[in-house]
């Protein structure tokens, strides 16, 4: 049984999710202590608890310590069983993070497709929103040879939640290596300023602010305004026409947060990415290293920013797999990830 410390590196849920995924893929049991020790609310919160229970369900696993706020977890995997599942977080916890926990075991060398329904948050703080998953993450998985279809039935914002997302995961016999080293010039940025259950003038303010902030990039910007069902909540999305997949950034509203601040969050991320001139955005980098660790052949990624999430994920992967992974560059600056 692998002994893992949840307080090292970024000390958050990434350690848990990657450990669960690789435990199911490798059939290695693990003991994780100090779960999410560096977070304001340590231990298993609802979305992390659902990640554990979802992994246990698809992998016929035995889990000890799978309770709310638990800081000590033992996970003993069985065989992964693809099929049809429904996981309800019960709060506005991030549906995308539960998906990230289980998609790889369900795809990796299974025999039949899987259909997963998630209920919870689709656009919540500190997690990939549905549209990022659909626009950027899903396109990257296609390059890897992993086919994941996504559909949002209903959005879910903090604190109400109640969003519904479906994922359709195809079996994958082989994961392809990737070499993403060349910067592609960005010529067009499209986006959506959306409100759900709030006055439409908020979406107009978000769109105006984002357009103003992006003017200095000298790139054509086209933003649409939309009103969604559900909520309350707001989001401002930006899609850059990068190659080989679009790059996506977003800002989210919350109580007491001005519309202009929502737009600023998305615009500042996009401008930082443009300034770095590296192909892989900071969010995709740590998500790509996990499946690439199972790929045949060498991979190389030039990333816009080396983050603590990326470094932590690499360290966890190397606990489960004998794979050489080298991350060059200072944290907070552009860098290169190489897998041999």
pTM, 2 dp: 0.95
Asked whether residue 120 falls in the same domain as residue 265, the answer is: no
Same domain, 73 and 195: no
207 in the same domain as 149? no
Residue 311 counted as domain residue:
no
Phi and psi angles of residue 46, each rounded to the nearest 5 degrees, phi first: -50, -45
Report the CATH number at residue 217: 3.30.360.20
197 shares a domain with 169: no
Burial of 338 (0-12, 13-18, 19+ CB in 10 A): middle
Q: Virtual CA dihedral for 213, 217, 222, 227, nearest 10 degrees?
A: -30
Question: Which of 176, 205, 231 represents a domain boundary (last residue)?
Answer: 176
Which among 100, 131, 283, 309 is annotated as catalytic?
Answer: 309
Spatial neighbors of 202 by CB under 8 A, at least 6 apart, are: 195, 234, 253, 259
Within-domain flag for 228: yes
Q: Residue 138 maps to which CATH number?
A: 3.65.10.20
Domain-embedded: residue 310: no
Residue position matching structure tokens 């969604």? 228
Per DSSP, which regions of 181-297 are E strands?
188-196, 220-228, 233-240, 247-252
Question: For residue 171, what are the domain limits?
Answer: 2-176
pLDDT score, position 216? 82
Residue 154 domain-assigned (yes or no): yes
Residues 12 and 151 in one domain: yes
Judge if 154 and 196 occupy the same domain: no
Number of domains in the chain: 2
100 tagged catalytic: no
Predicted pLDDT at 218 = 87
Say which residue the tokens 């000590």 belong to: 72
User: Is 12 contained in some domain?
Assistant: yes
Last residue of a domain, one of 127, 153, 176: 176
Determine the pLDDT at residue 230. Answer: 84
Which of 323, 274, 331, 273 lies closest to 299 in space, CA to CA?
323
pLDDT lower than 70: segments of the chain: none
Residues 172 and 208 in one domain: no
Look at residue 255 and tell me if it is in a domain.
yes
165 and 194, same structural domain? no
Helix (H/G/I), strand (E/B), else coil: 68: coil
- Kindly state whether residues 196 and 254 are assigned to the same domain: yes
Q: Are residues 170 and 62 in the same domain?
A: yes
Please name which of 149, 145, 147, 144 lies closest in space to residue 130, comparing C-alpha atoms. 149
pLDDT of residue 40: 92
pLDDT at 231: 85
Please indicate, yes or no, whether residues 60 and 140 belong to a single structural domain of this protein.
Answer: yes
The answer on 161 and 272 residing in a single domain is no
Beta strand pairing call for 30-33 and 72-76: antiparallel
Q: How confident is the model at residue 86, as a pLDDT?
A: 98
Of 276, 298, 315, the residue at which a domain comes to its end is 276
Do the domain assignments include residue 165? yes
Evaluate whether 307 touches 327 at the Cβ level (below 8 Å): no
Task: Specify if 328 maps to a domain.
Answer: no
């Amino acid at each position: 049984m692998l002994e893992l410390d949840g307080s090292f590196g970024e000390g958050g849920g990434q350690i848990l999710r990657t450990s669960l995924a690789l435990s199911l893929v490798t059939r290695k049991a693990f003991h994780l202590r100090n779960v999410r020790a560096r977070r304001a609310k340590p231990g298993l919160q609802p979305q992390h608890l659902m990640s554990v229970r979802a992994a246990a369900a698809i992998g016929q696993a035995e889990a000890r310590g799978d309770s709310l706020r638990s800081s000590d977890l033992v996970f003993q995997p069985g065989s992964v069983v693809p099929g049809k599942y429904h996981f309800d977080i019960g709060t506005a916890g991030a549906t995308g993070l539960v998906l990230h926990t289980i998609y790889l075991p369900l795809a990796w060398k299974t025999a039949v497709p899987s259909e997963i329904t998630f209920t919870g948050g689709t656009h919540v703080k500190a997690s990939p929103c549905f549209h990022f998953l659909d626009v950027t993450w899903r396109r990257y998985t296609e390059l890897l040879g992993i086919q994941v279809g996504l559909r949002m039935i209903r959005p879910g914002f903090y604190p109400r939640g109640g969003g519904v997302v479906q994922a359709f995961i195809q079996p994958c016999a082989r994961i392809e290596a990737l070499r993403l080293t060349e910067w592609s010039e960005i010529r067009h940025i499209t986006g959506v300023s959306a409100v759900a259950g709030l006055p439409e003038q908020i979406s107009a303010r978000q769109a105006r602010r984002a357009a103003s902030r992006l003017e200095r990039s000298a790139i054509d910007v086209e933003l649409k305004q939309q009103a969604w069902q559900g909520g309350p909540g707001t989001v401002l999305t930006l899609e850059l026409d990068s190659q080989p997949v679009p790059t996506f950034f977003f800002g989210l509203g919350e109580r007491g947060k001005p519309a202009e601040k929502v737009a600023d969050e998305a615009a500042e991320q996009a401008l930082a990415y443009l300034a770095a001139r590296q192909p892989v955005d900071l969010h995709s980098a740590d998500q790509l290293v996990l499946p690439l660790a199972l790929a045949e052949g060498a991979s190389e990624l030039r990333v816009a920013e080396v983050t603590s999430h990326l470094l932590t994920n690499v360290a966890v992967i190397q606990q489960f797999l004998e794979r050489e992974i080298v991350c060059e560059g200072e944290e907070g600056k552009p860098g290169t990830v190489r897998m041999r």
